[in-house]
Amino acid sequence: MSGEHMQIGEVATRTELSLRTIRHYEDTGLVTPSARSQGGFRLYTESDVARLMVVRRMKPLGFTLDEMRALLEATDRLDTGEELPPEEHEELLDRIRGFEQAAQQRVEDLRTQLAQAEEFAATLAERLTWTPAS
């Protein structure tokens, strides 16, 4: 096999996604293998891996499959290489800006949750070493 295409196992290793998850993303239309081998095996390109990485990064931030699809559609449209009408180009960029702002907010929310969890863990650790005065 050429270096251009990878089988699903290699993609799973590179993306740290399970085979099942990759197949699920295919079933939901988020990623489509670029080709199939003569034996019917899914074959992926670097572009497919990059697409899966976008999905993988959005998942822990709580984005829905529909939101993932909307972002990918916007980036796909911008990446076609064709000249877009200025209004459409700006609308696509606005959509991506919206996702960037949402991601930043979700990251900040996770930082707050992490700080609270660390504070709680420290309180428990303190409690374990605390001895009542006799």
| Residue range 60-69, pLDDT digits in tens | 999 999 999 9
Is 15 in contact with 52 (CB distance < 8 Å)?
A: yes
Residue 36 — φ and ψ, nearest 5°?
Answer: -130, 145
On whether the pTM is more than 0.85, the answer is no
Band (88; pLDDT cuts 50, 70, 90): very high
Tokens standing for residue 19: 């085979």
Query: Which whole number is the average pLDDT over 100-127?
Result: 97
* Residue with the two structure tokens 């079933």: 27
Average pLDDT, the chain: 93
